[in-house]
Chains A and B, each alone.
Chain A
Amino acid sequence: MGKKKREVQEVNASSTADIAFLLLVFFLVTTSMSTDKGLARRLPPPVPENQEVPDNIEVNKRNVLTVLVNSRNDLLVNGEVMDVSRLKDKAKEFILNKAGDPELPELFTEDFGPGIGTQTYTKKHVISLQNDRGTQYQAYISVQNALVAAYDEVRDEFCLPKFGKKFAELDEETQKAVQKIYPQKISEAEPKDYSNN
């Protein structure tokens, strides 16, 4: 009897495509493409419980920009009712005080070392932000966004003529130096609850 040589049968590979499709669909469903973006902020460090609160902190009135947001999301900036769209320009005017207005923050002139030289800036300015417990989150974010935008623009306007670059494109060291001139000074007070009375 003549023995036939048995050939090894090839494994049928037509289903690997289906398997791979299944895996693909699984990954499409369980993962998300978008990377999260957001407003980066820093909280003040916690206050030790037994610390006495000095009640005679003297802050010159002209150095403070108070921004109040009530439970109806209305804005009060230094006693003036304002729309959020105007807050950015108001904040910029406050941070810079270009004209040396006696109502706006005091100007100081200091030497910032090589590369930057002497600059006139509002050293003691503070933006104080206070909101109600009933304020809507979107309104709070809009205010924060406007203030951050004001600082970003102020920094860019300083950097462009000086270095020919925007603030974000500078190297880290120069960024730090610029941050020294225009630090983000947004102080958040504890919210008040006016709804109960």
Chain B
Amino acid sequence: MAKFRKEGGRKMQAISTASLPDIVFMLLFFFMTTTSMKETTYKVNIGLPSATQLTKLEKKSLVKYVYIGSPKREFVKSFGTESRVQLDEAFANDPKEVQEYIIKERSAMKECDQGFMVVAMKVDKDTKMGIVTDVKQALRRANALKLNYTALGK
């Protein structure tokens, strides 16, 4: 006897998506652990210089950032095109303000960490050395002697 099929044929079974959230959560946790928050939004253009003898900046909590570069387009009207120093979220009016800023930031750190503070200089490669030197002198006066000139590997 011939077999008869039911009318309509077999329906494809729907793929269970119950495990999809789990997969996505795994991805989420992966990214949460491997990445770090951006320090700030840049208000200056920073094209990092290139170098070969690089060392990694290790503990993020010990690093304070100083940014130097020409202001981004939306700030050109109020700040001009001359290179400027950015500390945290704001422009500094004078490179000398770096001294106060670093002293303030350092005193906010844990006492046992204060000696290990590193200042990372993120400076645009077309900046003139004048402003960089002023900042370096301010750092010297603030007694923040460990520097790291952030650069890209070749």
* Best-buried of B53, B120, B126 by chain A (most CB within 10 Å): B53
> How far is A89 from B122 in the complex, measured between Cα atoms in Å?
28
Q: Name B's interface SS.
A: mixed
Q: Does A59 have its Cβ within 8 Å of any Cβ on chain B?
A: no
Rounded to whole Å, the gap between the CB of A126 and the closest CB of chain B is: 18
Q: Does B86 have its Cβ within 8 Å of any Cβ on chain A?
A: no
> How far is A19 from B118 in the complex, measured between Cα atoms in Å?
39
Decide: B53 and A39 in contact? CB cutoff 8 A. yes
> What are 5 contact pairs spanning A and B, CB under 8 A?
A38-B149, A44-B140, A133-B133, A136-B125, A140-B129
- Extra pairs beyond A40-B118, A40-B146, A43-B136 (14, CB < 8 Å): A16-B21, A20-B24, A24-B27, A39-B55, A39-B149, A42-B147, A44-B140, A46-B143, A133-B130, A136-B129, A137-B127, A149-B52, A149-B53, A191-B133
Which B residues are within 8 Å of any A CB, using their own CB?
Answer: 17-18, 20-21, 24-25, 27-28, 31-32, 34-38, 49-57, 63, 118, 120-130, 132-133, 136, 139-141, 143-153
Decide: B150 and A37 in contact? CB cutoff 8 A. yes
Q: Name A's interface SS.
A: mixed
For the A-B complex, the count of residue pairs with Cβ-Cβ distances under 8 Å equals 153
Known: A37-B151, A45-B140, A134-B128. A17 touches B21 (CB 8 A): yes
Decide: A27 and B120 in contact? CB cutoff 8 A. no
Decide: A31 and B127 in contact? CB cutoff 8 A. no
Contacting residue for A46 out of B54, B125, B127, B141, CB 8 A: B141
Determine the chain B residues whose CB is within 8 A of the CB of A38 once the complex forms: 51, 54-55, 57, 120-121, 148-151
Decide: A141 and B145 in contact? CB cutoff 8 A. no
> How far is A40 from B145 in the complex, measured between Cα atoms in Å?
11
> How far is A140 from B126 in the complex, measured between Cα atoms in Å?
11
Decide: B148 and A41 in contact? CB cutoff 8 A. yes
Decide: A31 and B151 in contact? CB cutoff 8 A. no
Q: For this complex, into which size category does the number of interface residues on chain A fall?
A: 35 or more
Known: A39-B54, A133-B128. A32 touches B35 (CB 8 A): yes
Determine the chain A residues whose CB is within 8 A of the CB of B25 once the complex forms: 20
- A 119-163 binary contact with B (CB < 8 Å = 1; else 0): 000000000000111111110111011001100100000000000
> How far is A72 from B49 in the complex, measured between Cα atoms in Å?
17
- Of all chain B residues, which has the CB nearest A147? B53
- A 185-197 binary contact with B (CB < 8 Å = 1; else 0): 0000011010000
Contacting residue for A40 out of B27, B35, B126, B147, CB 8 A: B147
Determine the chain B residues whose CB is within 8 A of the CB of A148 once the complex forms: 53
Determine the chain A residues whose CB is within 8 A of the CB of B38 once the complex forms: 30-32
Q: Does A21 have its Cβ within 8 Å of any Cβ on chain B?
A: yes
Rounded to whole Å, the gap between the CB of B14 and the closest CB of chain A is: 12
Determine the chain A residues whose CB is within 8 A of the CB of B20 once the complex forms: 17
Determine the chain B residues whose CB is within 8 A of the CB of A35 once the complex forms: 36, 56-57
- Of all chain B residues, which has the CB nearest A32? B38
* Best-buried of A33, A141, A152 by chain B (most CB within 10 Å): A141
> How far is A36 from B60 in the complex, measured between Cα atoms in Å?
10
